Amino acid sequence: MPDVTHILSQIESGDPSAAEQLLPLVYQELRELAAAKIAHEKPGHTLQATALVHEAYLRLVDAEKAQHWNSRGHFFGAAAEAMRRILVDRARRKKREKHGGDLHRVAWENLQVGVDAPPDQLLQLDECLTELAASDAQTAELVKLHCFAGLSIEQAAEQLSISARTAYRDWAYARAWLLSRLKQAESSGAEE
Amino acid sequence: MASSTDSVKDIFGNAREIPDRDQRKRYLDEACAGDESLRAEVDRLLDALDSAGDFLGGSYSPATAQLPISERPGDTIGPYKLLQQIGEGGMGAVYMAEQTEPIERRVALKIIKPGMDTRQVIARFEAERQALAMMDHPNIARVLDAGVTDTGRPYFVMELVKGMPITEYCDLHHLTPRERLELFVPVCQAIQHAHQKGIIHRDIKPSNVLVAHYDDQPIPKIIDFGVAKAIDHRLTEKTLFTEFGQVLGTIEYMSPEQARLNQWDVDTRTDIYSLGVLLYELLIGETPFDRERLRSAAFDDLLRIIREEEPPRPSDRVSASHSLPTIAANRQLEPRKLTELMHGELDWIVMKALEKDRSRRYDTASKFAEDAQHYLHNEPVEACPPSASYRFRKFARRNKAVLATTMAIAASLILGIVGTSWQAIERGHEAERARAAEHLAREEAKRADAEAKKAKQERDRAMQAEQIADDQRAMAERQRAVAETQRAAAEASAKTSQAAVDYLVEMLGSFSIAKRGRAPTIDDVLTDLEAGIDDRFADEPLTKSVIQTVLGTVYAHRGQTELARSMLESAWEIRRQLLGDADETVQSGILLTSLPPGDDGLALAEEVLAMSIRVHRPSHPATWACRSTLARQYAYSGDNERALDMYQQVLRDRQGYFGENSPETRATQKNIGIVLLRLDRSDDALKVFNDVLQLRGPGGQERAGYADTLYDIAKCHIALGQTEKAESILLEVIERRRKLFGPGHRHVVPPVRRLAHLYVENNRRADAIAQLKKALELTKNAVGADDHYTVQLMYDLGLCHLDGDNYEAAIPPLRAAKNSPQFLRAIGSPLTPIGSTEVASQTTLRHQAYEAYLQLAIYSFENDEWATAGELLGGLTWLTDEPKEKVETELYRSMSLWHAGKHQAALQSYADVTNWMKDQDFDQVELSQLRSQASQLLNVEAATEGTSNDEEP
């Protein structure tokens, strides 16, 4: 198995093909981790996507070497994407299993990204996020890094090479934009 | 829409930073400049944000958001002007700064990263400020000031040290170990100085010990005093998740007492530990615990490693290192030289500082420094290698439970092997032999005395008398020769025992967590002991047989009969082949046949008896022991009449030899009582047991054997239907055993269960439940929730409730019982029915459990307690051999799991059972309805599910 630390250092030294190898590896590891955690899930103990990402990082990356370069960001970029896919896949599967029936919902104000998020709502959020990415890729990436990889807004800012101030502004914008979009879709859906 | 994104975003962003409503409205009017749709979009976003609540984790204080996040060179903080960043660490960034007033100088300014409660940081710093100011040592960088930046982050001002981490410095200059040690000594002295002022550093690591050149001399300087305490550098769950990278950077230097969540139990010896790690790394270039391994360990595991695992000695660590050539080259040494140099005193010095137990480390940093100097001056060092007995003590401290077993092992070695008993202990004949020897000696002495007297009387009389005396002298000579031979034999046997003892002590002493990554359990100890003997004693089979005998005895005591049998069988075989007919072989045979019945227990017992008759004689203590185990084998095989005959014969022999009242005779009498009980002759049994009780006499009441016999008497009363008598005696037995062994001891469990059964039979369920509950509580505390005695009590308690149709109360104990790894063993250990030779088969017992759990699960299922039902049904298929029941259970389980939302598990369970059904040859028609019900619920194709799964790669 190719070593993630090695791939990260390749990305660092400008090898564009290396980035493609990263995602499947991170995805694989995260999926296994998530499966293992979900299997041993204790009642009342919610599984945090961000904790998984951190654990994956520790398992995959030679932190000591990684400290010397800023490729940590590349890892979290890949992890955010991997985690997004895992959660979305899971939500789709759950939705299928339940036939769309007996699904619980939460108020949008209470929605958090995680394995226990209502599948339907998570999928809707993902759709809106894709839409946001079409018009404002950077803001969408910020949301992914924060919500799916657990980076703080400031860490995400660093990763996106934008100022923290901009990141906080973008974050507020993203929340407002996504929420208004979701509510809009909901009310138009209800009218049909 | 896309084209206007930027303007929407900007206007939205600006507007939400204007708190005043009117101002905001004015701004919006102006910015949108009549563009209705733009205005509507911005308004919608602002509304959305107002009602966003915790959406996606909530908003973040705009106050923080608007502030610049980091200071830059050129910024001014208080009286300090930042010049350039000179370092970046986990806690924040370090700048070189210029102080203009009151004096002009350059300082180091450390700005702590956001996320701390600034006020508390400053408050903690202020608390130590006085003490910090009193520190004045050439090897300590002075702490000058602390404060808060305009952005609300705490900062610390320190004497500027233009140096590099001590480890880097040493490697860069290729310092030899000796030179490194010389550089290390002042570091210790500086720490000692701080300790004397009441300051603990708490975060000693290479990056906090800088080496700078002053007057061309390398001078180590310790920085960051007071910082760790001020920022409360404690491990919490939060730091583990949010600052994992930084935690990893310092965890290698963290002392065991720091490696606990939310702990702040540190003292000056914490610094000694970190100094030890620093010296370790200085000397051999690596930290005690492998970074690679720490990184791959889960967090709690990682902390456990620091807390519990013995680090390797530096010499071992370096000789195993891949980087040895580089490490050695950096020290101007050959690799081999480096390893040799470490070995011995340097190892000891470092390891003394790294003791897990603080009280075993150097008391003070100056003692540590002194010992390093002793080494440099070639004087004897204070630290010394851990002795085998020390290692053993250490092992013992860590493993109290394991120690209990090792003590049992040692005791059985020293005292001679004691056979596991049926009811009373079938005394191994070491004791009998000792007793017999004493008896013979006394007889001999008497006889010799008499002879001597007679000789004296006759001496004067006749020549004949001389002749007799000569004969006697000759006889005495012969006797001495015999004694001599016996002594030689005893010595040889002692030598074998000594080899065995050496082996045990060595193995136990070398036990370490490193081997397994966790604390060893009793089973680990036994497994390792067992695994080691084949190699170790390949040429000493007799010693091997001693260890096997010990292990077999321990296994037998732990109820691991099959393991015991394999050990004892091997010992028996070895001795039979090498020693042939011999006392040792007989002893092995007695132990082996004392085990619960095996395949050929009866034949074996007869063989051992025959051997004992050849080796000793028909009437000899060992032979009686053989007869006794043979009698037991008869009883096991159901031939109680024959067992009774044989026991009665043994009793007569033992009474004649040991006397009416000896442990051996009492044991035999008790066994007779038990056989009588099994023959349904409870009246006779009662008489026998009462005799035994009488024999014990007034002094014997406080002994365990007294309570044992009382227990037997209670059983007789139960068999005779004398409930009240039985109850009061059982209560006394419970009371006595609690006093004798401790309230939660396993020995208390059987009479409690017996009493509970008695209560249930007499419709006194509440009393039964009360007894069981109390015992459960005590036993759980004493031996843990997973001990099979605890599990038995849980199981009984659950069944009691179930018997009373109290399902809700039955669920918790029965669920807990089933989740225990000891479940099968617990339900397979019933109380032997009194007055009957029938012992319920394991199949029956399991099926009883199956019925109970099924009943409970159906109740949960019907009450929509899906998760509980699913859990109760889990593993039930093991408890029944009936295919239909297996299938039914599993189908119900899959539906329960599905309803409980565990779809993955439900599908798995369904697929497993349908696959299994394919290979089964039984009428499945009855099950088809249930199956289709399940398949509909799970939405899987009932007919094809199994096969389609198989075909997929």
pLDDT tens per residue, range B551-585: 887 777 666 778 888 888 998 998 888 888 887 78
Residues of A in contact with B248 (CB under 8 A): 58, 63-64
- pLDDT value at B193 more than 70: yes
A97/B298 touch (CB, cutoff 8 Å), yes or no:
no
Give dist(CA B486, CA B759) in Å, integer. Answer: 58
Per-residue model confidence (pLDDT) at position B771: 93
Per-residue model confidence (pLDDT) at position B801: 92
Residues of B in contact with A109 (CB under 8 A): 51-55
Please give the ipTM for the structure prediction: 0.83
- pLDDT value at B733 more than 90: yes
The Cβ-side half-sphere exposure at A60, using a 13 Å CA radius, reads: 30
- pLDDT value at B62 more than 50: no
Residues of A in contact with B12 (CB under 8 A): 172-173, 176
Band of pLDDT at residue B210, cut at 50, 70 and 90: very high
Mutate one of A111, A135, A162 to test the B interface: name it (highest B CB count within 10 A): A135
Helix and strand totals (H; E) in chain B = 44, 9
Residues of B in contact with A143 (CB under 8 A): 56
- Greater pLDDT, B918 or A72: B918
Per-residue model confidence (pLDDT) at position B236: 55
Question: Which residues are registered as beta bridge partners of B631?
Answer: none
- Greater pLDDT, B398 or B420: B398
- pLDDT value at B418 more than 70: no
Most confident among A158-167, B159-168, B510-519, B532-541 (mean pLDDT): B159-168
Mutate one of B11, B56, B299 to test the A interface: name it (highest A CB count within 10 A): B56
* CATH 3.30.200.20 domain locations along chain B: 67-160
pTM flag (> 0.95): no
Calculate mean pLDDT across residues B100-118.
77
Where in B234-297 does DSSP place strands (E)?
none
Known binding-site positions of B: 110
One-letter identity of residue B543: T
User: Going by C-beta distance under 8 Å and a sequence separation of 6 or more, which residues neighbour residue B425?
Assistant: B418, B419, B663, B667
* CATH 1.10.510.10 domain locations along chain B: 162-385
Band of pLDDT at residue B735, cut at 50, 70 and 90: very high
Chain B residues interacting with chain A (CB cutoff of 8 angstroms) = 1-2, 5, 9, 12-13, 16, 44-49, 51-57, 59-60, 62, 64-69, 114, 241-242, 244-245, 248-249, 291, 295-296, 298, 903, 939
Count CB atoms within 10 A of the CB of residue B616: 20
The angle subtended at Cα A43 by Cα B805 and Cα A104, nearest 5°, is 100
Q: What is the number of residues in chain B?
A: 953
C-alpha distances (whole Å) from B285 to each of B206, B311, B321, B425 are: 12, 15, 10, 59
Calculate mean pLDDT across residues A91-116.
72
pLDDT in tens, B8-21: 888 888 888 777 77
Residues of B in contact with A106 (CB under 8 A): none
Q: Give percent above pLDDT 70 in chain B.
A: 76
Most confident among A156-160, B482-486, B499-503, B853-857 (mean pLDDT): B853-857
A172/B49 touch (CB, cutoff 8 Å), yes or no:
yes
Per-residue model confidence (pLDDT) at position B167: 93
Per-residue model confidence (pLDDT) at position B63: 37
B48/A183 touch (CB, cutoff 8 Å), yes or no:
yes
pLDDT in tens, B494-533: 566 666 666 766 666 555 545 555 556 667 777 777 888 8
Q: Pick A51's closest partner by Cβ from B49, B56, B241.
A: B241
Where in B287-422 does DSSP place strands (E)?
none
Per-residue model confidence (pLDDT) at position B61: 42
- pLDDT value at B25 more than 50: yes
Q: Pick B55's closest partner by Cβ from A109, A135, A164.
A: A109
Per-residue model confidence (pLDDT) at position B416: 37
Per-residue model confidence (pLDDT) at position B461: 52
Residues of B in contact with A158 (CB under 8 A): none
One-letter identity of residue B454: K
Q: Pick A97's closest partner by Cβ from B16, B295, B903.
A: B903
Calculate mean pLDDT across residues B389-416.
46
Band of pLDDT at residue B448, cut at 50, 70 and 90: very low
- pLDDT value at B331 more than 80: yes
Question: Which residues are registered as beta bridge partners of B97?
Answer: B82, B107
- pLDDT value at B421 more than 60: no
- pLDDT value at B188 more than 90: yes
CB of A136 less than 8 A from some CB of B: yes
Q: Give percent above pLDDT 90 in chain B.
A: 17
B13/A173 touch (CB, cutoff 8 Å), yes or no:
yes
What is the average pLDDT value for chain B, to the nearest integer? 77
Nearest to A91 by CA among A119, A116, A117: A119
Candidate from A11-20, B286-295, B832-841 with smallest mean pLDDT: B832-841
What is the average pLDDT value for chain A, to the nearest integer? 75
Per-residue model confidence (pLDDT) at position B610: 92
β-pair type (B217-222, B209-214)? antiparallel
Give B386's DSSP letter: P
- Greater pLDDT, B171 or B943: B171
CATH superfamily of domain region B162-385: Transferase(Phosphotransferase) domain 1 (1.10.510.10)
Q: Pick A175's closest partner by Cβ from B52, B245, B939.
A: B52
* Closest B-chain CA to A151: B242
Chain A: give the shortest CA distance to residue B278, in Å.
18
Per-residue model confidence (pLDDT) at position A98: 65
Q: Pick B9's closest partner by Cβ from A63, A113, A173.
A: A173
Domain residue limits at A168? 4-191
Q: Pick A108's closest partner by Cβ from B55, B62, B67.
A: B55
- pLDDT value at B230 more than 50: yes
Per-residue model confidence (pLDDT) at position B262: 62
A179/B55 touch (CB, cutoff 8 Å), yes or no:
yes
Give B579's DSSP letter: T
Calculate mean pLDDT across residues A38-54.
57
Per-residue model confidence (pLDDT) at position B235: 58
Per-residue model confidence (pLDDT) at position A38: 63
Residues of A in contact with B49 (CB under 8 A): 172, 175-176, 179
Helix runs in B19-117, H state only: 21-32, 36-50, 62-66
Give dist(CA B101, CA B98) in Å, integer. Answer: 9
Calculate mean pLDDT across residues B930-947.
70
Per-residue model confidence (pLDDT) at position B724: 93
Per-residue model confidence (pLDDT) at position A103: 59
Per-residue model confidence (pLDDT) at position B447: 47
B49/A179 touch (CB, cutoff 8 Å), yes or no:
yes
Residues 94-123 in A contacting B (C-alpha not used; CB under 8 Å)? 94, 97, 99, 107-113
- pLDDT value at B154 more than 70: yes
Per-residue model confidence (pLDDT) at position B497: 60
Q: Pick B296's closest partner by Cβ from A59, A99, A170.
A: A59
B44/A180 touch (CB, cutoff 8 Å), yes or no:
yes
Residues of A in contact with B60 (CB under 8 A): 153, 168, 171
CB of A180 less than 8 A from some CB of B: yes
The angle subtended at Cα B697 by Cα B691 and Cα B699, nearest 5°, is 150
Give dist(CA A176, CA A167) in Å, integer. Answer: 14
- pLDDT value at B80 more than 80: yes
A175/B47 touch (CB, cutoff 8 Å), yes or no:
no
Chain A: give the shortest CA distance to residue B112, in Å.
15
Calculate mean pLDDT across residues A31-48.
59
- Greater pLDDT, B357 or B832: B357
Per-residue model confidence (pLDDT) at position B411: 45
Do residues B80 and B98 make contact, with C-beta atoms less than 8 angstroms apart?
A: yes
* Closest B-chain CA to A116: B901
- Count of structural domains within chain A: 1
User: Going by C-beta distance under 8 Å and a sequence separation of 6 or more, which residues neighbour residue B556?
Assistant: B420, B564, B568, B591, B594, B595
Band of pLDDT at residue B439, cut at 50, 70 and 90: very low
Does domain B67-160 fall under CATH 3.30.1280.10? My reply is no
Mutate one of B3, B7, B42, B45 to test the A interface: name it (highest A CB count within 10 A): B45
Per-residue model confidence (pLDDT) at position B192: 93
Q: Give percent above pLDDT 90 in chain A.
A: 12
Per-residue model confidence (pLDDT) at position B402: 47
Per-residue model confidence (pLDDT) at position B732: 94
pLDDT in tens, B43-53: 889 888 888 87
Q: φ, ψ for residue B887 (rounded to 5)? A: -65, -45
Per-residue model confidence (pLDDT) at position B511: 55
Candidate from B325-329, B440-444, B466-470, B665-669 with smallest mean pLDDT: B440-444
Q: φ, ψ for residue B83 (rounded to 5)? A: -100, -60
- pLDDT value at B301 more than 50: yes
Where in B684-754 does DSSP place strands (E)?
none
**What fold does the segment set B847-953 form as a domain?**
1.25.40
Per-residue model confidence (pLDDT) at position B144: 85
B939/A54 touch (CB, cutoff 8 Å), yes or no:
no
pLDDT in tens, A118-147: 888 888 999 999 999 988 899 999 998 888
Band of pLDDT at residue B403, cut at 50, 70 and 90: very low
Please name the residue that has the structure tokens 């502030």.
Answer: B67
Calculate mean pLDDT across residues B142-157.
81
- pLDDT value at B820 more than 60: yes
Q: Which residues of B are catalytic?
A: 203
Tokens linked to B65: 């958001």
Give dist(CA B855, CA B803) in Å, integer. Answer: 11
The angle subtended at Cα B580 by Cα B531 and Cα B601, nearest 5°, is 70
Residues of A in contact with B903 (CB under 8 A): 94, 97
Known binding-site positions of B for ATP: 110
User: Going by C-beta distance under 8 Å and a sequence separation of 6 or more, which residues neighbour residue B255?
Assistant: B266, B269, B270, B273, B274, B306
A136/B5 touch (CB, cutoff 8 Å), yes or no:
yes
* Closest A-chain CA to B295: A58
Most confident among B238-247, B456-465, B488-497 (mean pLDDT): B488-497
Chain A: give the shortest CA distance to residue B751, in Å.
37
Q: Pick B60's closest partner by Cβ from A94, A147, A168.
A: A168
Residues of B in contact with A165 (CB under 8 A): 65-69
* Closest A-chain CA to B302: A58
